[in-house]
Amino acid sequence: MKDGKIHIGTIYHNVESGASIYRLLMPNQWLIDKYPDEFIVTNFKDGQIPILDNEFLQSIDIFLVSRQVALGEDDFIKSCFDTLRAYNAKVVIDYDDFWILPSDHHLYDYYKDFKIPQKLTKNVAFSDHVFCTTSILEDRLIPINRNITVVENAPYPNGIKSFIPEPTESDKVRFGFFGGAQHIPDVNLMAESMSMLRKDKSLDGKYMVICAGFSENEAYLAYEKVFTDNYRNPNYARIPAMSVFEFAAGYNHADISYAPLRGDRFNHFRSELKCVEAGYMGKGLICSRMPQYEPVIKHGWNGFMVGSKEVGAWYRYTKQLILDKDLREGMTKNLHDTIMRMFDYNKVFQKRVDVYRDLVKSMHIK
């Protein structure tokens, strides 16, 4: 311990990533704000395992790492864990999604050729404790490591101003897509509905479809092609790409969020983050019917869910929300209330504190 406090050493592989923001930075900032007399946090950047050769580093009680300590052969991974534990520290892995990618994922060949899933699994097995995002993912991880705590994604805005809602007004109903560059198959689910929306001339001038995070790359150009029905719908706009510290500000320029997900094995283990972001930022939601969304979204009350075989449903629900202001505003309020209740960061992050305390206590049990 350092100065009588529990010392958390956080190893970042990539500071500018969604996983780093939600799973490391925000929880750590809350920890410092809530328990300044009990915890101290030191950050190690670029994923490098520190060499524990001085008094300061030796004081670390718990290392918190996103997904993996190291990638390599089993002996190498174990040696890296041994290095972190050299002075009796515990190692906590934070795991946010599934480690087996679909064949059309842009990293599939890399994962397959370098046996990344097997290496990630070893990291989970070697950990003293694992944080994960959902009970669905927890069930998949339990056979590898039974020391697991579900800690949901919960925005904590202190230090990241983009997560403080500053909504803008518009005479049009704005539907935004806020997703990374790996969602081409998911956005393609909306293609037929976007064509139907474009053809419905009664709606022209009443709405806008917005692609957030736009940049001139293959993924976002593919998204744009879907949202504009091959560049034939003028009711469209872009929000340029921003850093992970700024992207949430894009929600201020939308009224409803789209969250399409293809029903494959990989997406099955994603978190309910898009529900959380939309509700937290005061937006409505149309999303795919997925198991992680179902505990959060009550269809027709705080959001619309689209089944995999519901042809044209993205269009129908979009039109309904364009034309019915009372429904739109009521569902938006209901989602906000749901998210603030179910994903209260104080309750969510307290689960991390409980684990940290138990781990430190176990160090002193003879």
pLDDT of residue 33: 97
Nearest Cα neighbor of 293 from 257, 328, 329, 323 is: 257
pLDDT of residue 366: 46
Q: What is the mean pLDDT of each run of 10 residues along the chain (366 residues)?
A: 87 87 97 97 74 72 94 93 91 95 91 95 97 97 98 95 96 97 96 98 98 96 98 98 95 98 95 98 98 97 96 97 98 98 98 97 73
Residue 92 burial (CB count, 10 A): 22
Give the model confidence (pLDDT) of 236-252 as tens digits.
Answer: 999 999 999 999 999 99
Global confidence as pTM: 0.95
Q: How many helices (H) and strands (E) does the chain have?
A: 15, 12
Phi, psi of 335 (to 5 degrees): -65, -45
Give the model confidence (pLDDT) of 299-329 as tens digits.
Answer: 999 999 999 999 899 999 999 999 999 999 9
What domains are there in the chain, each with its CATH number? 6-154+345-363 (3.40.50.2000), 161-342 (3.40.50.2000)
Q: Is 294 helix (H, G, I), strand (E, B) or coil?
A: coil
